Amino acid sequence: MTPSDQLLDEVAAGAHHDPHSVLGIHPSTDAQGGEEWIVRTRRPLAASVTAVFSDGTRVPLEHVRSGIWEGTRMCIDEEAIAKDFPEVDAGRAFSMMLLALCECALDHGIHTMISNYEPYLKRVYKRAGAEVEELGRADGYGKYPVCCGAFEVSDRVLRKMRAALGLTLPLYVRHVPARSVVTQFLEMAA
């Protein structure tokens, strides 16, 4: 839910006492009641803004008002997991998502991912076998501190994650189109 115009104007003008209660990344719900993350930033002179997450996901933000931009990032839907995979709890699903992210990063030549997270997630990462080095944290900008961490992406970490989850087969498989994008474009133009 987008804050009121008055609140956005106050944040944009630097007149709000707690701008990070509006700006940054915050849990939210979508129109169907599913969990998501909402991202807001202030970029008054920008023509476009895109949030880039540590897994490479790019979320274009929309200009809301007064230089405030907003977009959403979906999270694990615990109800859908319970319905479609009743034997998998949300914690394991999240850990499996981290493993797939590690596999994808390695497949694309990425060896370090940087991400913001709340401190309690370090336990989740550890349980999944992931390794994160906390680079710093900021207190006082919300309910919890926000940590910034570097995640190692390597074959060693991948093996450790698979062992922690008891999995041997890959979760991520790179999609390779049957025809190149150029070939598809030329076919469309013909």
Strand partners, 113: 151
Range of the domain at 118: 78-165
Global pTM value: 0.56
Residues 20 and 90 in one domain: no
- Residue 135 domain flag: yes
- Residue 83 domain flag: yes
Q: How far, in Å, CA of 137 to CA of 4, rounded?
A: 29
Residue (of 136, 144, 135, 158) closest to 26 by Cα position: 144
Q: How far, in Å, CA of 22 to CA of 39, rounded?
A: 9
Q: In total, how many domains does the chain have? A: 2
Residues 40 and 97 in one domain: no
- Residue 12 domain flag: yes
Last residue in a domain, options 55, 74, 93 = 74
- Residue 184 domain flag: no
Q: Is 164 helix (H, G, I), strand (E, B) or coil?
A: helix
Last residue in a domain, options 74, 100, 117 = 74
- Residue 19 domain flag: yes
Residues 11 and 86 in one domain: no
Q: What is the pLDDT along the chain (190 residues), one digit of tens a residue?
A: 568 889 989 988 888 888 888 888 877 776 556 566 788 888 888 888 878 766 566 677 888 888 888 877 656 667 778 888 889 887 788 888 889 889 988 988 889 988 877 787 788 888 889 999 998 888 766 566 778 888 999 999 999 999 999 999 999 888 776 777 788 778 888 7
* Helical segments of the chain, H only: 5-13, 78-84, 90-107, 121-127, 155-165, 181-189
